[in-house]
A and B are shown apart, each in its own frame.
Chain A
Amino acid sequence: MNRVKRYDPDKVFDVVNTIVMVILFLIVLYPLFFVAIASVSDPNLVNSGKVILWPKGFNLDAYQHILTNANILNGYKNSVIYTFVWTAIAVCVTVPAGYALSRKDLPMRKTATMFFVFVMYFQGGLVPTYLVVKQLNLLDTMWAVILPTCVSVFNLIVCRTFFEGTMSDELLDAARVDGVTNLKYFFQIALPLSKAIIAIMILFYAIQQWNSYFDAMIYLNSKDKFPLQVVLKDILIQAQMNSSGAFGDAESVAAMQRIAELVKYSSIIVASLPMLILYPFVQKYFVKGIMIGSVKG
């Protein structure tokens, strides 16, 4: 057999593709890696560009500083509380509602679905929502961060789609013959079969709340109620923004910049710690959740 091939286009493709993907891999990973090594290096070496591939001047001062910084610790505590309470309420409200909407024999099902879907595309906006929160006397309480956002219509639709796909009509019919009511059916039969969607919802909601800052920024005034993200915003962004040319009260800015210089990398790691711990689970369920969600509402 004589092969007269000057070059194999598929081989070229494979080589080029692999090279491009390795570069992409490095682009995605390197910033994360850099944050990690910079957080345990001597800040002076980091700031002069000596830390590139491995930590230099290894020390844990930055982490020690975080552990003694009252604002960060308090923010951490608040974030944990808000995330737990918010996620618990959100999941308890969303999952049953999603189930009800998934039932084809729900009276006025179309109207009920439209009632929810409409607000996904048409919102009152920032100020009218703020005025409602104000009128309810929720300003500067943790409920201002929790109640206004605790039902995500998107997640509701994800739940509905999940139940539509997994719960069989035969099972329902059989239960009915035995005289099981709808509520009993949901709590005793449907729910135990739906651990996957509960896990997905907990993840979706918990991640969203842990990472959010805006509602807390506009609704909360007392510093001791700030969640971690708002504390980080003040340290990481305000301080560095000022070094980029915007101006503020000189003394407090200088103080904040000193803290920022110390903790700007370690605080990122600390803030992302829950995500890092959850990542193996997140991974498994997140992909599943995205897939259910991608089926149109």
Chain B
Amino acid sequence: MHKGHPIKKKRWRNLDLYLLLIPAIIQVLIFRYWPIAGIQIAFKNFSAKKGIWGSSWVGLKHFMMFFQSYNFWEVLGNTLTLSLAMLLFSFPIPFLFALFLNRLMNARFKKVLQTVSYAPYFISTVVLVGMLYSFFSMDSGLINLIIGKMGGESVNFMGKASCFVPLYVGSAIWQTMGYNAVIYIAALTNVSPEIYEAARIDGATKLQSILHIDIPALLPTMLILLIMQLGQIMNIGYEKVYLMQNALNLSSSEIISTYVYKLGLQQARYDFSTAVNLFNTVINFILLIIVNRVSKKASGSSLW
């Protein structure tokens, strides 16, 4: 019967589906692929007069300049520190939250807590950082008022280099814990109640059944999320970092993406900052491919 293979016969028969795709294709061509073509200025001496294509080639000059610049190691180090701190603290907490939330006895409290837990996700970055400045401000912030009441000295949290990473990571956990736990919580509801019942009859305590039932059930999901996170390790966004940055904490808050923004758009060094960005993109891309390949071999899960 040819019922199952009408496609083979008329390969181009569904070409009209492309009418639905064309707007998206045009948008992506203009605003995603055209900029990729513009990356060539990383290897050029960009002059606004001659344009992207007419500017003269300079090879790896900008890259060399970046590697030799006095803040190369600082910027790279800050980027990696922030990413690794996020991975170490912000990644496992939603996992743990889901595990223990799932075991709450009071069903109503469980529901309320889950709903409340992802409310902060809807707060904008500007508002979140605004809240940080309010809560941690030197003279009128709630935290310093409490420290003061307990007889301690006020700390300029927002203007202290050593406080930048903890504040960034801590506020990220506060904002995204509930949201990131949603996937895990849903995965846990797929565990059949009979397994728990069997474990209980065999005398397993709750902690034991978390260890031997829940964690193995969540592992595949966690692995995929871990790959995604590892593949983004150099891709930490500038939006929040830029807002938290000030002259006093710059030595730990200047990361590659904010550096690119300042050089590129504030100082109009288009070619150099594009080179810095390309360095970041390429490393990240290579990392993503390696991580993906390793995980494909080890567990069969892959991003594509």
- Chain A interface residues (CB < 8 Å from chain B): 9-10, 13-14, 17-18, 20-21, 24-25, 27-29, 31-32, 34-35, 46-49, 92-94, 96-97, 99-101, 103-107, 112, 115-117, 119, 121-132, 136, 147-151, 153, 156, 181-183, 186, 207, 210-214, 218, 229-230, 232-233, 236-237, 240-241, 243-247, 264-265, 267-268, 271-272, 275, 279, 282-283, 286-287, 290-291, 294, 296-297
Contact = CB atoms under 8 A, between A and B. Distances in A.
Contacts of A291: 182-183, 186
B100 interface: yes
Contacts of B251: none
Interface in B252-291: 257, 260-261, 264-265, 270, 273-274, 277-278, 281, 285, 288
A100 B21 contact: yes
A266 to B, nearest CB: 12
A105 B247 CA distance: 57
B80 interface: no
B36 A117 contact: no
Given A147-B30, A151-B31, A218-B261, 4 more contacts: A96-B24, A125-B35, A128-B34, A247-B247
Interface in B76-105: 97, 100-101, 103-105
B206 interface: yes
B62 to A, nearest CB: 12
B303 to A, nearest CB: 6
Interface in B93-132: 97, 100-101, 103-106, 109, 112-113, 115-120, 122-127, 129-131
Contacts of B65: none
Nearest to B182: A290
A49 B145 contact: yes
Interface residues of B, number: 107
A264 B127 CA distance: 9
B17 A103 contact: yes
Given A123-B35, A126-B261, A233 B126 contact: yes
Contact of A32 (B32, B119, B137, B243): B119
B39 interface: yes
Contacts of A122: 36, 281, 285
B58 interface: no
B265 A128 contact: no
B277 A127 contact: yes
B255 to A, nearest CB: 13
A18 B105 contact: yes
B54 interface: no
Nearest to A235: B130
B18 interface: yes
B159 A245 contact: yes
Contact of B16 (A17, A31, A92, A182): A182
B2 interface: no
Interface string B1-36: 000001100011111111111011101101111111
Contact of B27 (A104, A151, A247, A271): A151
Contacts of A97: 20-21, 23-25
Given A107-B12, A268-B130, A128 B41 contact: yes
B47 interface: no
A109 to B, nearest CB: 9
B113 A183 contact: no
B56 interface: no
Contacts of A271: 124, 126-127
Contacts of A32: 119-120
Contact of A20 (B12, B27, B100, B206): B100
Nearest to B38: A128
B179 interface: yes
A226 B124 CA distance: 16
